[in-house]
Chains A and B, each alone.
Chain A
Amino acid sequence: GAVVSQHPSRVICKSGTSVKIECRSLDFQATTMFWYRQFPKQSLMLMATSNEGSKATYEQGVEKDKFLINHASLTLSTLTVTSAHPEDSSFYICSAPRAGNTEAFFGQGTRLTVV
């Protein structure tokens, strides 16, 4: 069964609104989680590293004020896409490694469509 759960799986929102995506580790604690974005027919691009109890670390070119990350507990990280625009439409995927594990477990992904 899934060890990382992502919600919602699909969301459609109006341009200018904000959308929150949740990523939960189900049977383990994750001090670190990762957020990726994937455009059609492209690879997964790492957006940011979510750190429990501290600020997220963003990759170069990713706007931290647009993609707000909150890692408030050891099992939950949230990504909020603020003031969404059609170009933010994408597939967003989170992952979480178990402590001491190099392999990360991936969520099912969230398909965001901004209209």
Chain B
Amino acid sequence: GESVGLHLPTLSVQEGDNSIINCAYSNSASDYFIWYKQESGKGPQFIIDIRSNMDKRQGQRVTVLLNKTVKHLSLQIAATQPGDSAVYFCAEILNTGGFKTIFGAGTRLFVKA
């Protein structure tokens, strides 16, 4: 199956600090990307998306940056809170006659109070 089946790297930050989570994607044809948050034992939750014709998009406390030249995405979380502790996945959306979501490796975020 398609994905990167690596064990999750971990990012530990102090409450109130900003967090930056990075992701490399593989398919140059992807024109749409999403960041998901997954809490233990649950399915992924949509956080923010970005189209390939953009390089930055901001939401509430979150910003996604896209660098297509090096196929890199980042998620910035401002003023990180304990409730932000979770695993974060970037995903690329492939249009293969339907929109297929392919997940990156993921990063576990720990927020220290």
A: residues with CB less than 8 A from B are 6, 31-32, 34, 36-37, 39, 41-47, 49, 51, 59-62, 91, 93, 95, 97, 101-104, 106-109, 111
Cβ contact within 8 Å between A102 and B106 = no
Contacts of A60 in B (CB 8 A): 1-2
Contact A43 B104 (CB under 8 A): yes
What are some 23 contacts across the A-B interface (CB < 8 A)? A34-B100, A36-B103, A42-B5, A42-B6, A42-B7, A42-B106, A43-B5, A43-B89, A44-B3, A44-B89, A45-B103, A47-B1, A51-B98, A62-B1, A93-B43, A95-B43, A102-B32, A102-B99, A103-B49, A103-B93, A106-B43, A109-B43, A111-B41
Q: Are A101 and B2 in contact, CB atoms less than 8 angstroms apart?
A: no
* A-B interface contact total, Cβ < 8 Å: 81
User: Secondary structure of the A side of the interface?
Assistant: strand
Selected contact of B1 from candidates A45, A93, A97, CB within 8 Å? A45
Residues A43 and B43 in contact in the complex (CB < 8 Å), given A49-B98, A62-B1: no
Q: Kindly list chain B residues whose C-beta atoms are within 8 Å of the C-beta of A51.
A: 98
Number of B positions contacting A (CB below 8 A): 30
Sample of 4 further A-B pairs with CB below 8 A, known A43-B6, A97-B98 = A36-B103, A42-B6, A44-B3, A45-B103
Q: Which of B1, B7, B89, B93 contacts A41 (CB 8 A)?
A: B7
Q: Is the CB of B1 within 8 A of A61?
A: yes
